[in-house]
Amino acid sequence: MEYKTRVLTEEQKQQFETEGYLIVKGLFTAEQLAEIDSTFEDISHQVIPGYFEPDLLQEASDPLKRYPRVMHPHRFHETAKRYMLHQPVLDVLADLYGEEALAAQSMFYYKPPGARGQALHQDNFYLKVEPGNCIAAWTAIDPADEENGGLLVVPKTSTYEIVCPDLSDAKESFTTHYVKPPKDQKAIPVVMERGDVLFFNGNLIHGSYRNKTKDRFRRSFICHYANSSAMRIATHYRPLFRADGTAVELETNPNGGPCGVEYDTPYVH
């Protein structure tokens, strides 16, 4: 059955195909963003073993010890699952895939002042979606720019093969992997307003700056999706979910893992 476009223009789809990423505005209302705010503010004061394990005493010198990323909040919080399955986002994904999307992962990054960034990497190195690819929907909960650690993308690398990463700089990245951009191609900043959603291909090389501000968080709600015709995905992302919340069990793809492996040793300024 031929797929009919729902929400994107041909120009938007062409940009995603050519550049590997696309910013879409207006997918969340002010009330919905406020609900995301309050949900993750509540979570930030808890310890949720296996998903969010902060140092609530704030004794560590690394701000990410107090505000680590929340992994898979959809597995323990219904509001997070509801926004992972947010229909306006799923409509865009259906246009980009040309078929329905399956939700594979949710994350929330607080990225407090002074926090390290995440070195350049490729998402499908971890998700291992086959056949097809993963797509990320990266929602800016705070404005994101070069000062507070906004995203970097290397345009047109969505057609670049998945490569074995090098070791990152532990002083600047909280994760260990680094993918060097192809020759003559550079990472550029993606400046986003609150509520903007950046969609990008699983092969696109991307990362983020350190948060250089003293008083601005760079919060983001990030979900990963697979095309509904995919057969395999890494174990870490199973089960996936349809728009109505029903679980889907794809075959296990060996290897893969969480999006970025964190350094185990404490960061010392």
- SS3 string, 148-189, reads CCCEEECCCHHHCCCCCCEECCCCCECECEECCCCCCCCCEE
Answer yes or no: is 268 within a domain.
Answer: no
Q: 């010890």: which residue's tokens?
A: 65
Answer yes or no: is 109 within a domain.
Answer: yes
Res 262: pLDDT: 59
Rounded Cα distance between 224 and 135, Å, is: 6
Give the residue among 229, 249, 242 at the shortest CA–CA distance from 81: 242
Rounded Cα distance between 209 and 91, Å, is: 30
Cross-strand partners of 103: 225, 241
Answer yes or no: is 3 within a domain.
Answer: no
State pLDDT tens for residues 56-85. 987 668 999 999 999 999 999 999 999 999
Tokens of 236: 């870490």
Answer yes or no: is 267 within a domain.
Answer: no
pTM value? 0.93
State pLDDT tens for residues 24-42. 999 999 999 999 999 999 9
Give the CATH number, domain containing residue 137.
2.60.120.620
Q: Could you tell me the residue range of the domain that residue 18 belongs to?
A: 10-53+62-253
Tokens of 154: 């290397």
- List, in sequence order, every beta strand (DSSP E) within the chain: 21-24, 70-71, 101-109, 134-140, 151-153, 166-167, 177-178, 188-190, 197-201, 206-208, 220-227, 232-234, 240-241, 247-248, 251-253
Res 222: pLDDT: 98
Q: In this structure, what DSSP letter does residue 224 have? A: E
Tokens of 125: 């190195």
Kind and range of the H or E element at 92?
A: helix 87-97
Answer yes or no: is 265 within a domain.
Answer: no
Average pLDDT score over the chain: 93
Domain count, the chain: 1
Answer yes or no: is 38 within a domain.
Answer: yes
State pLDDT tens for residues 127-175. 999 999 999 999 999 999 999 999 999 999 999 999 989 999 888 888 8
Count the residues in the chain: 269
Q: Exposed e or buried b for every residue in 113-126, given b needs 16+ CB within 10 A?
A: bbbbbbbbbbbbbb
Cross-strand partners of 108: 70, 221
